[in-house]
Amino acid sequence: MKLEYFIETLEEEVANYHTPVIDLIAVQTRDPFKVLVATILSARTKDETTAGASRRLFNEASDIYDLACLSEKRIRELIRPVGFFNNKAKYLSRLPNALKPYAGKVPDKLEQLLELPGVGRKTANLVLSMAFGKPAICVDTHVHRIMNLWEFVNTKTPEATEKALRKILPIQYWIKINSILVTFGQKRCKPVAPQCDICLFEKDCPKIGVTPRQIKNEGTDSMKLISWNVNGLRAIEKKGFIDIIEESGADIFAVQETRAWPEQLSDELKNIKGYLSYFTKARKKGYSGVGVYTRKKPLNVNIGIGKDQFDDEGRVITMEFTDFFLINAYFPNAQHGLKRIDYKIEFNIALFEYAKKMADKKTTLICGDFNVAHKAIDLANPKANEKNPGFSIRERNWMSKFINAGWVDTFRAFNQEPGQYSWWSYRFNARSKNIGWRIDYFIVDANSKSKLRKATILTDIFGSDHCPVQVELL
């Protein structure tokens, strides 16, 4: 399909969908200050939350002079709970000073916008197009993802997508492409479980890297389980975690490294619509911890594996359902200098013994962050990491022993490709360069391999240094 035809067809399609909040503010106010502020607020935030925060802030600060009178603390109170509200409050409190060279006006040049606090390329391009009507291509996660899944571009980062689109997209589409694809991406072609079954492009779409939502038929449906090391549940709540779960279509959503006691979690996190939730508690505050969101009430829930030295760190929760057990585990990190490798291997052995007893009774799945890449194919730089935690010989040997005992690494049951990772360091732009490790797994007992339908890594989902992994089984 030609790109122009795709965009024009989509423009008609999304005309009746809900309009993205920045478009609304741009049309309603025609005010560059409000468009800039709302765009800063909108990063990693649901549209409804951005709309509420913008309304509260603009009630007290309808222009840059009013904003200059608000303290950072007051701005934070007004914009909460947008994602990264602490940082955004800082940026907004610095904005009046930053706009002084422009006599308090928002500049209409890309380079000048990029110098303002909290303004990156995406925000600058959106302000140029929405507030000033200048031809600029704003590439956010939806534009980047949808252009790649259709193979209109083949890029790793939003910046590269913008560059590629500048070459192939006729200029009359530059301003509107963001609004069209954001609307489509929020409503139909969602990052998790896109609604391909009712999409007008269902037949033509190449669906590169896409796992469409499943419509469940009573009695014949498979079950979808997702596992994610969230690197702090309270932190990821601010990055759209609740939306991700609600839109995932998962029957069970397991999380690791929650880093919070259950009583420290917000009611919203504990009561996600359609799910029951269960959490462990490490003795040390802000450390380790796992949790499970499940649509079905489990028959039994067991916290820990009956060994205090591991259970004190809140590393395991087990759920029994009619047909299967789910063990959700956060394996210890061997740590720098392999300081904690003995502890880790002891944990691994204990968990292995524990899981064997379950598998004798019924299907048993183990999911979680195993903190080990099994083979060279499972990390970008195996040679350089041979002695490092997560790829040391003792850790890999344990994993081999575990797999050789018949447990199935579900992802490798379907995919033998290199370059498939679930964790990337926050440093050196590792994720955009795909310098990663596959250390998050769904493992199933040998007798239940025939129940597997699919196993994937959800690399389109952001918010942690890990991305989720998913399995579907009958």
| Residues lying near ligand SF4 in the complex (CB under 6 A) | 149, 188-189, 194-196, 199, 201-202, 205, 207, 210, 212
Tokens coding 119 = 């303004």
Placement of tokens 């790649």 in the chain: 148
**Least distance (Å) between residue 452 CB and ligand SF4:** 23
Query: Shortest distance, CB of residue 22 to ligand SF4, whole angstroms?
Result: 22
**Alpha carbon distance 60, 131 (integer Å):** 21
User: From residue 127, how far is each of 31, 49, 50, 178 by CA, in Å?
Assistant: 10, 19, 16, 12
**Pick 257 or 472: Cβ nearer ligand SF4:** 472
Of 78 and 146, nearer to ligand SF4 (C-beta) is 146
C-alpha–C-alpha distance, residues 242 and 210, integer Å: 21
Whichever of 176 and 356 has its CB closer to ligand SF4, that residue is: 176
Q: Tokens for 306?
A: 């009956």
Beta strand 300-303 with 324-330 is unpaired
* DSSP E strand boundaries for 361-451: 363-369, 408-409, 423-424, 436-437, 440-444
CA distances from 86 to 38, 121, 211, 240, 291 (A): 15, 21, 34, 16, 26
CB of 162 to ligand SF4, least distance (A): 20
369 catalytic? Reply is: yes
Q: Which of 47, 140, 342, 369 is catalytic?
A: 369
Q: Which of 359, 363, 361, 333 is CA-nearest to residue 345?
A: 333
Minimum CB separation of residue 307 from ligand SF4 in Å reads 45
Q: CB 222 → ligand SF4: shortest distance, Å?
A: 19
Nearest one of 348, 343, 287, 299 to 323, comparing CA atoms: 299
User: Which of 24/199 has CB closer to ligand SF4?
Assistant: 199
> Dihedrals φ, ψ of 288, to 5°?
55, -145
* Shorter beta-carbon distance to ligand SF4: residue 24 or 149: 149
Instruction: Please give the backbone phi and psi of residue 453, each rounded to the nearest 5 degrees, phi first.
Output: -115, -30
Which is nearer to ligand SF4, 201 or 411 (by Cβ)? Answer: 201
Classify 72 as helix, strand or coil.
helix
Residue 444 has phi, psi (to 5 degrees) of -130, 155
Q: Minimum CB separation from ligand SF4 for residue 337, in Å?
A: 45
DSSP three-state, residue 303: strand
Query: Which residues are part of the catalytic machinery?
Result: 369
